[in-house]
Amino acid sequence: MRVVRTRDELADVRRTLPGRVAVVMTMGALHEGHAALMRAAKDSAESVLVTVFVNPLQFGPGEDLDRYPRTFDTDVAMCVREGVDAVFAPSLDEMYPNGEPAIRVGAGPLGERFEGAHRPGHFDGVLTVVAKLLHLTTPDVAVFGEKDAQQLALIRQMVRDLDFGVDIVGVPTVREPDGLAMSSRNAYLSAEDRQAALALHRALSSGDLEKARAILDDEPGVTVDYLELVDDETWAPASEGTRTGRLLVAARVGTTRLIDNMSVHLGTRIVG
Ligand code: PAF
């Protein structure tokens, strides 16, 4: 497996990759959720590229850019284990040689809601780096986790709206045995936080907005940023006609901000 740092090295490696190429974009601190993305990538293409880059554009002031976990050696070991063909791990200068880009992708109205309402500019930063990495890696397929459901929805929209010509594959969230969604940020949780954080999964598993709210209200270690039920297709608030919804939650647990979501089958509801 090759580890490359520059766009020229990446272009050289890219030319040698046989068949369809899938990319898995990450910020490192890889866990089993990322391994699942790599396996999905292998299932959908002959060659797999992983990118590792902690993208400052998607962090707001006072967020965790500086303390974001960096575990490059174990990340590379996981990529080897999963049969990845190459890792692209650029420096900040390599990605943004002229400093922070003045031109960015605008995430549009959905980018202002839910996560976007709490993290202004976050999705512009995500879509800008995803667009750049798609240009640099020129994949046939790009694989993203459903854990970041709003990010996945916005990437699908960007690819459609701006004709990127890449297939986007979503992969179900990987959870710890007790239900906690895997996240690089789980590393911040104390033992006590870790216990309190389970309320997020309990709440989502109830499949009902009011029940979920009651479960979260009952856990003093959790402060909810938002809890919403949206239509899984349109991301509008779930309405009488919604057959499949998605419960979304973001909450602070100690000093850690966690997000999670789950699909909810609402079936045909009687309007009365
Ligand atoms: O999901 C992530 O890890 C990041 O948002 C991504 C897609 C790698 C862009 O920096």
The pLDDT value recorded for residue 267 is 80
Give the Å distance between the CA of 241 and the centre of ligand 1: 32
Q: Which of 126, 134, 156, 259 to mutate to test the pocket of ligand 1 (most atoms within 8 A of CB)?
A: 126
Taking CA atoms, 112 is separated from 45, 101, 259, in Å, by 33, 20, 16
Asked if residue 155 has its Cβ within 6 Å of ligand 1, the reply is no
**N- to C-terminal Cα distance for the chain?**
61
Asked if residue 130 has its Cβ within 6 Å of ligand 1, the reply is yes
Return the C-alpha torsion angle 177, 178, 179, 185, nearest 10: -90
Identify the CATH homologous superfamily for domain 2-171: HUPs (3.40.50.620)
Nearest CA to ligand 1 atom 9: 126
The pLDDT value recorded for residue 272 is 46
133 contact partners, CB below 8 Å, separation of at least 6: 23, 25, 51, 53, 88
Q: Where in the chain is the domain with CATH 3.30.1300.10?
A: 184-262
Q: Where in the chain is the domain with CATH 3.40.50.620?
A: 2-171
Q: Which of 59, 134, 148 to mutate to test the pocket of ligand 1 (most atoms within 8 A of CB)?
A: 148
**Block mean pLDDT (10 aa), the chain, length 272:** 98 98 98 98 98 98 95 98 98 97 98 98 98 98 98 98 98 98 97 98 97 98 98 94 96 97 83 48
Identify the CATH homologous superfamily for domain 184-262: Pantoate-beta-alanine ligase, C-terminal domain (3.30.1300.10)
pTM of the model: 0.97
